[in-house]
């Protein structure tokens, strides 16, 4: 039996820098970077998962270089990378977790608006909207 999103409670997807303290309300904490954040121990990050399979490729990461001018191109290319089977499976799993207990995507970049966690959060949210729309259509039939 599938677990439904509880009515009245929207799915919860948070984004946090690795240098922010973990909180009890973070839910399932996932590092979405390919490289470990500098100067932080595993214990301090309090991760449930290091999802390297969701991180942008090294080539894409180097091309982007956290340059906001390249953001749109980065998002487009990164979404293409997220279509790989392993990434799709991981995104589906995170969408299920976000629907039930919440997910916090952890990243190491300085820029809070232009980083891989922003793209991953949008992809998870899109999956949740699609799943909800399918459930509504099935219920109306």
37: left (phi over 0), alpha (psi -120 to 50) or beta: beta
Which residue shows structure tokens 């279509």? 83
Residue 4 lies in a domain: no
Domains identified in the chain, total number = 1
Residue 89 lies in a domain: yes
Q: Give the structural domain span for 114.
A: 13-140
Give per-residue pLDDT as tens, 48-72: 999 999 999 999 999 999 999 999 9
Query: Could you tell me the pTM of the whole model?
Result: 0.85
How confident is the model at residue 1, as a pLDDT?
35
């Amino acid at each position: 039996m599938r677990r439904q999103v509880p009515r009245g409670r929207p799915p919860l997807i948070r984004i946090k820098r690795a240098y922010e303290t973990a909180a009890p309300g973070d839910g399932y904490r996932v590092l979405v970077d390919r490289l470990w954040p500098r100067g932080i121990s595993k214990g301090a990050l309090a991760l449930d998962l290091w999802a390297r399979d969701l991180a942008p490729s090294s080539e894409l990461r180097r091309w982007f270089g956290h340059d906001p001018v390249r953001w749109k191109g980065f998002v487009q290319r990164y979404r293409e990378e997220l279509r790989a089977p392993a990434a799709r499976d991981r995104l589906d799993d995170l969408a299920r977790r976000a629907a039930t207990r919440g997910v916090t995507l952890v990243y190491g970049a300085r820029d809070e608006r232009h980083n891989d966690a922003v793209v991953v959060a949008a992809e998870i949210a899109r999956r949740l909207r699609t799943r909800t729309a399918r459930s509504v259509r099935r219920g109306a039939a």
